[in-house]
Amino acid sequence: MNGAKNANAGISRAASQVHRLLTEAWRLQPLYVSLYAILLSFVVGGVLISIIGVNPFTAYWALLRGMVGGGDEIAGSVARSVPFIGSALALAFAFRAGLFNIGAEGQLLAGGITAAYVGALSWMSDLPGIVAIPLILVAGTMGGAIWGGIPGVLRTKTGAHEVISTIMLNSLVLFGVRWMVNSRDPVVLRDTESTVPRTDPISDTAVLPELVDSQPTLHVGLFALLGVCFLVAFVLNRTTFGFEVGTVGLNPHASHYAGINVNRVIVASMAASGAFAGLAAASEISGTNGFFQPGTFFLMGFDGIAIALLARTNPVAIIAAALLWGSMLSGAPLMQQEADVSIDVVRIIQAMVLLFVAADAIVRYLFRVRELDQSPFKATSIEGAV
Partner 1 sequence: MTTAEHAAGAAGASERVGLDRQSATGLVFGLLGVALIAGVAPAISGTSRKFNFEPPPDPAGIGFHPPTWVIAIGVLFLLTAVLGFAPPEARRWASPARLLSAVALIPLVLVLSLALSDNPSTNVINLFNESLVLATPLALGATTGLWCERSGIINIGIEGTMLAGAGIGYMTYATIGDAQSTGWLWFSILVSVLAGGMVAALLAVLSIRFGVNQIVGGVVINLFALGLTGFLRSEVIVKTGITTGVGTSEFGLPLLSEIPVIGDQLFRGKPIYWMMYLVVIGTWLVMFRTPWGLRVRSCGENPHAAETLGVNVVRVRYQSVILGGLIAGLAGAWFSMESQTRFEDNMTNAAGFIALAALIFGKWTPWGAFGGALLFGFSRALGTRLQFLGVEVSGFEIPSEFLQALPFVVTLVVVAGAVGRSIPPAAAGQPFNRSR
Residues contributing to the site for partner 1 (CB under 8 A): 48, 52, 100, 102, 154-161, 163-165, 167-172, 175-176, 178-179, 182-183, 185-186, 252-253, 256, 262-263, 266, 299, 302-303, 305-306, 309, 342, 344-352, 354-355, 358-359, 361-362, 377-386
Q: How far is the CB of 335 from partner 1 (least distance, A)?
A: 12
Nearer to partner 1, 60 or 135 (CB): 60
By beta-carbon proximity to partner 1, the closer residue of 48 and 228 is 48
Residue among 1 and 51 whose Cβ is closer to partner 1: 51
Contact 139, 282 (CB under 8 A): yes
Distance CA 339, CA 318 (A): 30
* Residue closer to partner 1 (CB basis): 176 or 242: 176
**What's the min distance (Å) between Cβ of 86 and partner 1?**
18
Q: How far is the CB of 3 from partner 1 (least distance, A)?
A: 53
- How far apart, in whole angstroms, are the C-alpha atoms of residue 273 and residue 71? 33
Q: How far is the CB of 80 from partner 1 (least distance, A)?
A: 17
Query: CB of residue 304 vs partner 1: minimum separation in angstroms?
Result: 10
> Count of CB atoms within 10 A of residue 50's CB?
13
Residue 163 C-beta: closest distance to partner 1, Å: 6
Minimal distance in Å, beta carbon 65 to partner 1?
21
Give the CA angle between residues 234, 239, 242 to the nearest 5°. Answer: 85
Question: Within its chain, how far is the Cα of 123 from the centroid?
Answer: 33
Which residues are within 8 A (CB) of 301 and not within 5 positions of it... i.e. 6 or more apart?
Answer: 87, 90, 102, 103, 104, 105, 106, 107, 108, 170, 277
| Contact between residue 156 and residue 256 where contact means Cβ atoms under 8 Å apart | no
Closer of 4 and 386 to partner 1 (Cβ)? 386
Q: Which is nearer to partner 1, 25 or 361 (CB)?
A: 361
Nearer to partner 1, 155 or 219 (CB): 155
> Could you tell me if 31 and 324 are in contact, meaning their C-beta atoms sit under 8 angstroms apart?
no
C-alpha distances (whole Å) from 91 to each of 19, 79, 142, 246, 253 are 36, 20, 17, 14, 22
Long-range CB contact pairs, 171-179, < 8 A, 24+:
171/106, 172/106, 173/106, 173/109, 173/110, 173/113, 173/147, 174/106, 174/109, 174/294, 176/113, 177/109, 177/112, 177/113, 177/292, 177/294, 178/294
Cβ atoms of residues 136 and 121 within 8 Å: no
Q: 29-51 and 56-68 helices cross at what angle (nearest 10)?
A: 120
CA 141 to chain centre: 15
Nearer to partner 1 by Cβ, of 191 and 224: the residue is 191
- Residue pair 305/104 in contact (Cβ under 8 Å)? The answer is yes
Q: Which is nearer to partner 1, 22 or 258 (CB)?
A: 258
Report d(CA 323, CA 218) in Å as an integer. 13
Shortest spacing between CB 322 and partner 1, in angstroms: 15
CA atoms within 13 A on the CB side of 272: 23
Q: Considering beta carbons, is residue 2 or 380 the nearer one to partner 1?
A: 380
Min. distance of Cβ 343 from partner 1 in angstroms? 8
Q: How far is the CB of 199 from partner 1 (least distance, A)?
A: 16
